Amino acid sequence: MIDSLIDKDWVEALWLILDFALAVLLLGLAAAAVGTRDLRRGIALFIAFGLLVALVWARLRAPDLALAEAAIGAGVSGALLLAALRDVPPSGLPSVGARGLPLWLLNLGSVTLAVLLGWALLLALAGSDGIRLADLALANLEHSGVSNPVTAVLLNYRAYDTFLELGVVLAAVLGVLALGPARRSVRPAGPVLNSLIRLLLPLLIVTGGYLLWIGATAPGGAFQAGAMLAAAAVLLRLGGDATAGLPGAVGQRWLLALGIAVFAAVGLGVSTGGGAFLAYPHDWAGVLILLIEAAAMLMIACALALAYLGGRPAGWTIGDREGG
């Protein structure tokens, strides 16, 4: 009895030390990533920062966020930043922060803002009655069609937000396509990378499918699954595949439209009986959510892969020959 109590205290103390170390590291990495003048170094630090944030989310018992942060915040964003870095001319970028407000003023402003925000947040948490939407969300979980509360919020209670977020993804891709033709293909990879890709590719695709499926009951979902597929596309591209595994331009257009189209079709379909837009019937909710998530996953993967290519792949411009 006493032994177990001591054990528990020890474990608590260890976690506390770990949390403290995480917090200090997080601040240190953030400061280093912002402070460095070397872009490559800054990106490496930023990726490390993202992984650490994922750990923090895990410690805060938000595994969905931890997964999303690791896959998208650190993984895909890191890959995009590194790809963008290759576009920097050898002469380098004009140095940042040389113009405008002096640095000390910016720092002072940021610190003041942070203190003010922290104070307001403390007041808000102390002054509120503690009633949040989480209890309500859990109470309605059995009517939502899924048992993972995060998925219930994203695809049922607040599905409209996610619906519009897919519009944000589409807008971002259309912005990327406006930039010009895609980056030139990299040279074919060596044998070591090639065999690694051969190993990783099926694993990534299966993981994506697993994350999509498990999203109904446990952490996972379309965004994380889409990021996995996009990672597969990035690997293919690094291996020398110019198309990054994407279908032809027409296929890409359909993939991009798919996520929103399926979402809208389901939303409208369930409202034909006189219900509200996106009001899934109880028995069908789980299936419909999976359908929407599958379409969204494909769209997100295609969008992220196109963003990695950094412009219009061959065949996008009308008049170009299809394929590439």
Partner 1 sequence: MTNLLVWPVLVPLLGGLATLLAPRLANPLGLACSLATLGAAAALVVVFADQGPMILALGGWAPGLGIALRADGLSVALLAMSSLVGLAAGVYATGYFADPDVRGRFWSLWLLLSAALHALLLSGDLFNLYVTLELLALVAVALTALGGGRAALEAALRYLTIGLLGSLVFLLGVTLLYAGYGTLDLVGLAGALRPEPVAWVALSLLTVGLLIKSALFPLHFWLPPAHANAPAPVSAVLSALVVKAAFYMVLRLWFDVFDPALTQAAANLLGVLGGAAVLWGSWRALRAERLKLLAAYSTVAQLGYLFMFLPLLLALPPGPSRDVAFGALVLLALSHGFAKSALFLGAGVIQQRAGHDRIADLGGTARALPVTTFVLALAGVALIGLPPSGTFLAKWQLLASAIETGQWLWLPIVGIGTLLAGAYCFRVLGHAFGPSDRVGAALAVGGEEIPALLLAITATVVLGLGAAGLWEFLALGTAFDGGSR
- Chain contacts with partner 1 (rule: CB under 8 A): 116-117, 119-121, 123-125, 127-133, 136-137, 140, 156-161, 164-165, 167-168, 170-172, 174-175, 177-180, 253-254, 256-257, 260-261, 264, 267-268, 271, 275-280, 316-319
Question: Sign of the C-alpha dihedral, residues 307, 309, 310, 316?
Answer: negative
Q: In the complex with partner 1, which residue's Cβ is closer, 42 or 239?
A: 42
Report, in Å, the least distance between residue 267 CB and partner 1: 8
| 74-78 contact pairs (CB < 8 A, 24+) | 74/47, 74/48, 74/49, 74/50, 75/50, 75/227, 75/231, 76/227, 76/230, 76/231, 76/234, 76/304, 76/308, 77/46, 77/47, 77/50, 78/43, 78/46, 78/47, 78/50
Largest CA distance in the chain: 79
How far apart CA 81 and CA 175 sit, in angstroms, is: 16
167 or 188: whose CB is closer to partner 1?
167
CB of 137 to partner 1, least distance (A): 7
Q: What is the DSSP string of 160-192?
A: HHHHHHHHHHHHHHHHHHTT-BPPPPPPPPPHH
Give the nearest distance from C-beta 47 to partner 1 in angstroms. 20
Instruction: Please state the closest distance from residue 176 (CB atom) to partner 1, in A.
Output: 9
Min separation Cβ 82 and partner 1, Å: 19
Please say which residue, 2 or 124, places its beta carbon nearer to partner 1. 124
Nearer to partner 1, 29 or 270 (CB): 270
| Comparison of 170 and 201: residue with beta carbon closer to partner 1 | 170
Instruction: Give whichever of 100 and 191 is closer to partner 1, judged by the CB atom.
Output: 100
Which residues are paired to 123 by β-bridges? none
We find the least distance from the C-beta atom of residue 312 to partner 1, in angstroms, to be 8
